[in-house]
Amino acid sequence: MSSSAITIPGVQIEEKPWVDSLHEWVTTVDHKRLGVLYILYALLFLVVAGVEALIIRIQLMFPHNHFVSPQVFNRLFTMHGTTMVFFMGMPILFGFANYLVPLMIGARDMAFPRLNAFSFWLSALGGFLLYFSLVGANGLYGAGNAPDVGWWAYAPLTARAFSAGHSTDYWTLALLVSGFGSIGTAINIIATILCMRCPGMNLSRMPLLAWLNLVMSGMVLISISPLTAAQIMLLIDRYLGGHFFDTQAGGSAMLWMHFFWIFGHPEVYILIIPCFAFMSEIIPVFSRKPIFGYPVMVAATICIGFVSMSVWAHHMFSVGMNSYANSFFTITTMAVGVPTGIKIFNWLGTMWGGRIQFKVPMLFSIGFLFQFLIAGLTGVMLGSAAFASQLTLSYFVVAHFHYTLVGGVVFGVFAAIYYWYPKITGRMLNETLGKWHFWLFLIGFHLTFDLMHIPGLLGMPRRIYTYEPGRGWDTLNLLISVGAFIQAIAILMFVANLIISYFKGARAGNDPWDAWTLEWSISSPPPAYNFATVPTVASRRPLWDLKHPEDPDSRYE
């Protein structure tokens, strides 16, 4: 560790006209500003898709409810799923990767700043294209409507025979365009991590966050490509008379399923691996111990990356594959559970013997651990092809993946926001409001998603806009909806906290958590050039070495 820990005060800039500020933000190629843009953009879509989820839950509160029509309901769940996966989940994680990776590896920017800006604006365009369908899907002169084919858009529902107008085209183009953006960002993250590390930071000293984002970006490169190919094939079907997926003309519905899920399953790991990365940074700091089993954590992540490429057809256990294929995808799916379990055990090993501080980022991380444990175990149940023949396509699956994506990804993202908000804004988030947010969200989450498993076991299929009374689903659905509203209240408190703390929060200083990675060595918010002098590191925890010169990590690694 060298002089890079010297505090560099933020450059004092005079107040500029807002048009100039706006112009700076729109034309920026700074990785930190692009990271913040990604995060804000994703939070906007989190609220939009959250409102869609609330409308869905109002409709399902009672059997034979008439709050929305079936057509509107089908559009809502399509938009909710597509938005949350492509325009909330991926952008917010790319945002953190953009913001944090250069800071944590001691670089002054990403490898390709202009590609970075281009990728963000492509992804942004994708989201706006999807929502423009509300106005333009039947042609600019007609009333528009949103896509209603589900977020998997299974063939042949997307064929022109079953999906007239342009709503499916907006869905296709939105994913195509944002897919290009994702590929650009993934290339950028890989290049940055491989080529821009500061002196002394060899791969075995790199923070786990950088390692995990490296694996995630590799998976994006591999898995977005088939999705992009499938979207192009679908466009050819719809506009150039192709018959890839057009079953009325001999096309194959199964082909779409394979293309979609060979993207779709790695995709959930693309979403969860960056959250593993947050856990691997936050849990050690609030347990006051280094991460347990660093090399094993890296190996387990790479293992997840490889194995998760061979599990996609567990989404297709009901489509009539033969018993050998079903057995193969059972073993691969369950095999992913091994490295994932290793990660949970290593976080447990990190907390073991530590002095755990229950600050809000750590509360969300602990919530993540419990919920991800349950999500993993229901995943093993769904990975057993025979058990899955009952569970798949039911509300049990809906409960399982919300456990992963809300209990895992959203909790992980909240932990990350509470942890790095001080670095990004220079202000602490309010701890009391944060605890209210955590406990309310936790209660709402468990009320909604614990109970949601049960209607699935009682035969309730997913994606139904209403249901018959007397099937044992009524009370459960009412309680599930109540939980959704409790979560919504918690989100409001979170948004209020973000805004109030931005103006009135306590000053953060450089290193409010007494942490060990390079981003905490510079001012909050960091200056445009990040590091006045490029740092040199000698271990995985450069700031530990600096704070404990008598007992540096470099002595043990």
- Under DSSP, is residue 427 helix (H, G, I), strand (E, B) or coil? strand
When the beta carbons of 501 and 539 are compared against another protein, the nearer one is 539
Report d(CA 491, CA 45) in Å as an integer.
13
90-149 binders of another protein (CB under 8 A): 148
Residue 442 binds another protein (CB under 8 A): yes
Are the beta carbons of 105 and 143 closer than 8 angstroms? no
Residues contacting another protein: total by CB under 8 A: 103
Binding segment (CB under 8 A) for another protein, from list 166-174, 191-199, 323-331, 411-419: 323-331
- Which phi and psi (to 5°) does residue 511 adopt? -140, 70
Look-up: residue for tokens 């779709």?
264
- Is 10 a residue that touches another protein (CB under 8 A)? no
Query: By CB under 8 A, what part of segment 156-175 binds another protein?
Result: 156-157, 161-162
- Contact flag: residue 290 with another protein (CB under 8 A): yes
Whichever of 97 and 451 has its CB closer to another protein, that residue is: 451
Could you give phi then psi for residue 411, rounded to 5 degrees? -60, -40
Options 40, 443, 482, 532; binder of another protein; rule CB under 8 A? 443
- Which part of the chain contacts another protein (CB under 8 A), choosing from 35-43, 126-134, 228-236, 330-338? 330-338
The one among 309, 334, 486, 500 contacting another protein by CB under 8 A: 334
* Closest CB to another protein among residues 59, 172: 59
| Structure tokens belonging to residue 391 | 């569970």
Closest CA to 46 of 492, 369, 504, 500: 492
Please report how close the Cβ of residue 490 comes to another protein at its closest, in angstroms: 14
Q: Where are the alpha helices (DSSP H) in 208-252?
A: 208-240
Q: Is 302 in the site for another protein (CB under 8 A)?
A: no
Q: Six-digit token pair at 457?
A: 């076991």
Whole-number Å distance between alpha carbons of 420 and 282: 10
Q: Which is nearer to another protein, 127 or 407 (CB)?
A: 407
**Can residue 345 be called a binding residue for another protein (CB under 8 A)?**
yes
* 507 SS3 class: strand
Among residues 522, 450, 415, the alpha carbon closest in space to that of 104 is found at: 522
By CB under 8 A, residue 295 contacts another protein: yes
Residue selected from 389, 499, 509, 528 as contacting another protein according to rule CB under 8 A: 389
Which residue lies nearer to another protein by CB, 45 or 467?
467
Q: Which C-beta is closer to another protein: that of 189 or that of 209? A: 209
Minimum Å distance from CB 204 to another protein?
12
In degrees and rounded to multiples of 5, residue 207 shows phi and psi of -55, 150
Q: Which of residues 444-463 bind another protein (CB under 8 A)?
A: 446, 450-451, 453-454, 457-459, 461-463
Q: Is 8 in the site for another protein (CB under 8 A)?
A: no
Cβ nearer to another protein, comparing 192 with 371? 371
Q: Any idea which residue has 């009901």 for tokens?
A: 318
Task: Looking at residues 187 to 216 of the shown chain, list those that interact with another protein (rule: CB under 8 A).
Answer: none
CA torsion through residues 531, 537, 540, 545, sign: negative
- Rounded least distance, CB 358 to another protein, Å: 5
Interactions with another protein, residue window 487-526 (CB under 8 A): none
Q: How far is the CB of 85 from another protein (least distance, A)?
A: 16
CA–centroid distance for 6 within its chain: 34
Least Å from the CB of residue 540 to another protein? 9
Whether the CB-CB separation of 85 and 490 falls below 8 Å is answered with no
Q: How far apart (Å, rounded) are the C-alpha atoms in residues 519 and 530? A: 9
- Tell me: does residue 2 bind another protein (CB under 8 A): no
Contacting another protein within 348-367 (CB under 8 A)? 348-349, 351-358, 363, 366
- By C-beta, is 225 or 390 nearer to another protein? 390
Q: Show the DSSP H helices in 253-317 as ranges.
A: 253-287, 294-307
Task: Pick one of 65, 247, 310, 554: the residue that binds another protein (CB under 8 A).
Answer: 247
| CB contact set of 239 (below 8 Å; sequence gap of 6+) | none
Contact 256, 245 (CB under 8 A): yes
Count Cα atoms within 13 angstroms, Cβ side, for 51.
Answer: 6
Binders of another protein in range 45-64 (CB under 8 A): none
Cross-strand bridge partners of residue 461 = 394
User: CB under 8 A: which stretch of 128-136, 258-266, 318-326, 520-528 binds another protein?
Assistant: 318-326
Residue 24 — left, alpha, or beta (φ > 0 → left; ψ -120 to 50 → alpha)? alpha
Q: State how far the Cα of 238 lies from the Cα of 226, in Å rounded to an integer.
A: 18
Among 227, 374, 375, 508, which residue sits at the site for another protein (rule: CB under 8 A)? 374
Smaller CB distance to another protein: residue 195 or 386?
A: 386
* DSSP conformation letters of 2-14: -GGGS--PPPP--
Among residues 269 and 445, whose Cβ is nearest to another protein?
Answer: 445
Buried/exposed 127-140: b ≥16 CB within 10 Å, e otherwise: bebbbbbbebbeee
| Min separation Cβ 299 and another protein, Å | 9
* Site for another protein contains 386 (CB under 8 A): yes
Of positions 2, 65, 390, 554, contacts another protein by CB under 8 A: 390
